Amino acid sequence: MDAALDTVSRNRLRWKCRRGLLELDLVLERYLKKNPDDASLAPLLELPDNDLWDIIAGRSDEYDRRFEETVVRLRAVTLAPLYRAA
């Protein structure tokens, strides 16, 4: 992970995480709660929603291997239950 992002960069990253697919919104929101300063996420956010979801969901391995660590962390968030029983 890179050095901590400044407030403006962190806010830009959060804005880019707002997607058209609810599934992506949920996963990216959870991811940023655990990794708020992960600038390595930004290049992946340039992908179209469906391509990004296929990568995160594990249906596709067609991405730049420089982002392997980030993809592994994203997939771990995806596998965690989205809702906890009360």
List of residues 6+ apart from 71 with CB closer than 8 A: 44, 55, 56, 63
- Cβ–Cβ under 8 Å, residues 78 and 72: no
| pLDDT value, residue 54 | 95
Among 8, 18, 65, 63, which Cα is nearest to 39's? 8
User: Does pLDDT of 31 surpass 60?
Assistant: yes
Q: What is the mean pLDDT of residues 41-57?
A: 94
* Greatest extent of the chain over all pairs of C-alpha atoms, in Å: 39
What tokens were used for 29? 């929101």
- For residue 66, the 8-state DSSP code is G
